Amino acid sequence: MTSNKLALRAPALADVPDIESEWHINITNPRARRRINRDGMLGLGESYEQGDWSAEHLDRALHKALVNGPNGMSPSMWAKLAWILLEQRVFNRQVGKSAFNIGKRHYDLGNDLFRCMLDPSMTYTSGYWADAQTLAEAQEAKLDALCRNLDLKQGQHVLDIGCGWGNFAEHAASKYGVRVTGLTVSEEQAKYARQRCEGLPVEILLKDYRDLEGTFDHIASIEMIEAVGRKNLKAFYRVIDRSLKEGGSCALQVISSDMLSRTSNRRFDQFMIWILRYIFPDGYLPKQRELTPPPDTRLHIKSWQRFSDDYDRTLMAWASNFNEHWDEISDMYDENFRRRWNFYLHGCAAIFRAGLISVSQIVYTKGLCPNASA
């Protein structure tokens, strides 16, 4: 009995001797220790939002917690994890009207928020920093890399699944002369994208990807698959297969990881429970093996490029912009929201820095299997 209890009550984060000096944080309310001890990274995030602790360099503090904290979980955290795993296996929360929840709860928080945080192109995905000096340059390089990977030609029709504020649609239409149909589940994004793309051969639809009809020369989907859901990944690839013309290409930018599983890192799981609760409801990061198209499609992997370090730098640039321009939006959001958003941005930078998560551009072709490269 004793050994079983010890296994269940594995050391939590606050069991690390002197976490204030270990992680360089300043605890201002003793309840923070209790919450961290009980809920690990989840408790760390909740107590930070409440103002119970602070750090001069939040990203470094969270990186230390992710890398050096114990991997055990309390019974209450095991219960939370078990419930999420059950939900993912039993329920499908990304179909019908539920597919629009992520738009309402995240992307519709207000265009002013994202305008203050992002670069002028309103690109809310990782930039490509190989030859870039600024966030705007990194985002343009990423968009152009996607266009080149698709080998876009003037007059072609491109589908953009998860078009955001229309950044890729505007770039591809204006610089490559293609026609673009963009899909989003966010009303705020759709309004903004239609306005910015006025005068270009771009159509923005407020529609679930599964309801789309027609075929396209190429397809782009930039960090949208994370909202598809575990139960819908195969269906997502089948939609791409039926929507892509023979010989066409699909460029997918995707965040992947092993999350909330029997083999995943428990500190990372605790952070992802916080993300699912407060930032991205019903999200799911696919494992790398889940990014292989189902055998009943004619899709094949042509290339796979990873650039995970670039997301750390992108997130830190977003955090810097957010805090620099906070005064412009402070009358719309309270201090709790500011701390929550900072924990989100700096925490995500920390998990990329810790190697617990990756971002890739994958190109698929439809038809005969090409020679794959990785």
Where in the sequence numbering do the catalytic residues fall?
348
Bridge partners, residue 290, by sequence:
none
**CA–CA separation, 336 and 328 (whole Å):** 16
Q: DSSP secondary-structure letter at 373?
A: B
Q: DSSP secondary-structure letter at 109?
A: G
- What are the Cα distances from residue 220, in Å, to 169, 171, 182, 192, 234? 10, 12, 9, 19, 17
Sorted by sequence, the CB contacts under 8 Å of residue 199 that are 6+ apart come out as none
**CA–CA separation, 111 and 247 (whole Å):** 37
**Local structure of 79: helix, strand or coil:** helix
The answer to whether residues 338 and 345 touch, using CB atoms and an 8 Å cutoff, is no
Amino acid identity of 95? V
Closest by Cα among 186, 145, 198 to 168: 145
Burial of 371 (0-12, 13-18, 19+ CB in 10 A): exposed
**CA–CA separation, 229 and 93 (whole Å):** 8
**Local structure of 304: helix, strand or coil:** strand
Q: What angle is formed at CA 112 by the lines to CA 107 and CA 118, rounded to 5 degrees? A: 75
**CA–CA separation, 275 and 273 (whole Å):** 5
**CA–CA separation, 7 and 176 (whole Å):** 58
**CA–CA separation, 253 and 162 (whole Å):** 11
**CA–CA separation, 12 and 370 (whole Å):** 48
